[in-house]
Structure 1
């Protein structure tokens, strides 16, 4: 596009122009997408059905699973269309919607992970006051606060980004619309946008990371004082999955979004973006089901009940059929 042309649509980028690689990327993304939806839907169903899991910790895991499904659905379906059909076009409105939803989902997930660290801290360090502090009302209020503040955060940054003029090029070097990639295309002065985005992201991500770190310092110091190895192992088993997700999510997000806009090897940024936009939603159900005994037991219970109900339906249908024949 010439310098005098204002962008009315953008072209997203795949990892490769080779057809065989595009098919491979499509299959990998699609498999991760289906696995993510299946795993998170299973967690939502199990926590909803099993009364034993109606506790603050599992309430937050349920909300995290819902946001995981939303988060990965914003980017992966369009990416699969790009890889397989080479249909790279996305409208300005579609790009703005994608940026808004990515920021909202990422922000809500980060705050939920922070709230979950607070929940584990109270459960392990203040067990006698747990039910008085983490009441259902408080859990709902914290969840709503994370969503509402996420709407404000996403709205402000999306609005600031699309107040700029885009006239240098319309090729976004990313498989989804994100702010760093768009700022490279603007012919306006982007310094204010870069500073605002960097400072706000640093404050929020840094604040959440500091809070999570301090929570786990207190948690580990308390756990190490437990008298038996079994108690220590049980306490660590509820914390380690959360720590792994936080490291992957914050680490990869920081690498892409908190470095200067100009210093960006494009393919490297695209690969790292996978680790904060696709891998955490994919890993959450795997980690929480494989490392959580209660969820595994609840899954088997739900599966047995479903199988028993299915057998009853088959038996009743069979008897009805032969009764009609006789």
Structure 2
């Protein structure tokens, strides 16, 4: 995307392992409910109706950029990982104070034929996402790069079988242990859609992409290697191939496998340029495991933002110094998405404190 003449490509350089003057920063769910401007824009509109409106989605995407520039280094398109199951034929509703709900989840393998489309028209069924990306790129005018994203196959299948979020994951565990081959079949179908979806996002203008495996930590190490990692590897291997077919340049790829602390070494060899860390990792230990193979992203506990400015400063000191050994191969982020009750001013303090501490640390390399 060099021809785009980005005014700030810090995050792309860090993702490629190139020299940066300070850690690039963004946070997951940065366009969302913690911002009063988001709540004003969304109003009483249905969540997925907002996702399907390129105008509203682009407006919401830009809200944290307008608020936090020049400290923030990337936008992420406002959408949801569950647009993929919707495109595959499933109904998903967003229920206030409950979250996403599938009224008719997958509960038996024989339901695959009746509840999932045989062929998914990604370019058509998810056109609203690509239109939102194009609209956002116009409004960004090169100020910062734009992230595209998708849910990982294992996480999407978990939602599709559980029928929403879960604490016990009984239904998906029943599926994978009773029907392992059928599970792999559906995971492959999801993977094929995910790759095309990411490719079309990049074609529309996304400068970097992230794969969210939000429920990776619900798998044992052995089961992660069966039901998650092979499909994550497929995505990283096949996406550049698909982009070449579309005559589109490759972009950096990030994998965020929440809770999969046991797989960090394997994730560093899984074909992604960036590996996201949740807040349960010790930064210095993660740097040792990574051994410079990838850029790391993360990983302050989002809950620290509830502690006020003194607590944020204290945590930022530990965070920046913890990633010092990465020698610039670090994208600063939280260890999970920002939560609704956070004061936006406290997030701004987080960004400013990272810059302050990093000014000293980054002089050393």
Higher RCO, Cα 8 Å, sep 6+: 1
TM over 0.5: no
TM-score range, shorter chain: under 0.3
Q: Which has the larger radius of gyration?
A: 1
Larger strand proportion of the pair? 2
Q: TM-score, normalised by structure 1?
A: 0.25
Q: TM-score, normalised by structure 2?
A: 0.23
